[in-house]
Structure 1
Amino acid sequence: MGNAPSTLTQYDIEEVQEHCNKLFNQQEIVSLYQRFCQLDRTAKGFISSDEFMSVPEFAMNPLAQRLLKMVDGLNFKDFVVFLSAFSAKASIEQKAALIFKVYDSDGNGKVTFNDIIEVLSDMAEQRE
């Protein structure tokens, strides 16, 4: 599922469900796929940071720049996994893992004072 197929097969849906720990049902995955295809305007099979920024709710998020580093170039399966952390069905551990990634700006597995300063700096730039 590197490039986005025009439609999802039952096998594709089940594969994505497994990939996201079954946090989304079949109907939700089809809906997410439709949204993914809308965002992937050039049908290249992944969503660029510019395409993510076309979503007003994403663009005005104070953490948008931090999130862009995580989402730029996501294919459909990874897009669903990313969104699964926002699901009401996601465990606190899944939600915490996403939050940790947002604040671990250098990706070293630790959130340091410098990481937090960088995140705050990104947020200040977003407001300007």
Structure 2
Amino acid sequence: MGSTSSMLTQYDIEEVQDHCNHAFSQQEIVSLYHRFCQLDRNGGGFVSADEFMSVPEFAVNPLSQRLLRMLDGLNFKEFVAFLSAFSPRTSLQEKIEFIFRVYDTDCNGKVAFDDILSILRDLTGSFMTEQQRQKVLTHVLEEAGYTKNSHFTLPDFMKVRLFLLTLGCYGKLAA
């Protein structure tokens, strides 16, 4: 699968399918390969951050800068694995693991109050004040039995499904 100018073999397609836990059909993988080749403008077999930013939907995403740290320099197999987090065939556990990596802004294997607050800042922009964000997040953490000083590892994050609580509480307080 080295250069993007080569075509995918059946073996390549099956290997990519296995790598992404069958989140995509073989036909979808072929379509993703064509899209990957379009993004890989220099044909080097990797997609850079600048190339990802050429996708308008990605460029306007409030989390695009956070996602870029996960994306820069992906080969095709990694590209498909990244996109598999958005597939309806991906398990809830795998989606939570992906979201944990997005929230873990300093890549230390833990999510802290400031990590979550930073994500909230990106998602809410000027629609909420910093004080409102802190109040919402503090409330969510307290409801889940945690404090501002708590640090969440992946098992903690999965146990409380913090991302769902955050969204649910945000909706309740914003309404």
TM-score, normalised via structure 1 length: 0.90
Contact 2:104-2:110 within 8 A present in 1 as well: yes
Q: Which moved more, 1:3-12 or 1:83-92?
A: 3-12
- 2:66 maps to which residue? 66
Unaligned runs of 5+ in 2: 126-175
Instruction: Name the CA distance, whole Å, in 2 between partners of 1:8 and 1:75.
Output: 13
Contact 1:104-1:111 within 8 A present in 2 as well: yes
Q: Specify whether residues 26 and 122 from structure 1 end up closer, same or farther in structure 2 by C-alpha distance, changes over 3 A only.
A: same
Amino acid across the alignment from 1:33? Y
What SS class does the counterpart of residue 73 from structure 2 fall into?
Answer: coil
- The 5 Å alignment of 1:42-81 reads 42-81=42-81
Instruction: Name the CA distance, whole Å, in 2 between partners of 1:115 and 1:29.
Output: 33
> Across the two proteins, how many residue pairs are aligned to each other?
124
The Cα shift of 1:99 comes to: 0.7
Task: Give the number of the structure whose alpha-carbon radius of gyration is greater.
Answer: 2
TM-score, normalised via structure 2 length: 0.67
- 2:91 maps to which residue? 91
- 2:145 maps to which residue? none
Amino acid across the alignment from 1:42? N
Contact 2:5-2:37 within 8 A present in 1 as well: no
Instruction: Name the CA distance, whole Å, in 1 between partners of 2:5 and 2:19.
Output: 17
Contact 1:85-1:98 within 8 A present in 2 as well: yes
User: What is the RMSD of the two structures over their aligned residues, measured on CA atoms?
Assistant: 1.4
What SS class does the counterpart of residue 115 from structure 1 fall into?
Answer: helix
Structure of greater relative contact order (alpha carbons < 8 Å, 6+ residues apart): 1
- 2:19 maps to which residue? 19
Contact 1:66-1:122 within 8 A present in 2 as well: no
Q: Which moved more, 1:7-16 or 1:107-116?
A: 107-116
Unaligned runs of 5+ in 1: none
The Cα shift of 1:18 comes to: 0.8
The Cα shift of 1:121 comes to: 5.0
Amino acid across the alignment from 1:105? T
- Once the two structures are superposed, residues 18-67 of structure 1 have per-residue CA deviations (whole angstroms, 9 ceiling, x without a partner) of 11111111100000000000000000101000000000000000000000
Contact 1:65-1:122 within 8 A present in 2 as well: no
Amino acid across the alignment from 1:51? E
- 2:32 maps to which residue? 32
- 1:115 maps to which residue? 115
- Once the two structures are superposed, residues 80-114 of structure 1 have per-residue CA deviations (whole angstroms, 9 ceiling, x without a partner) of 00001100111101111111110101111111012
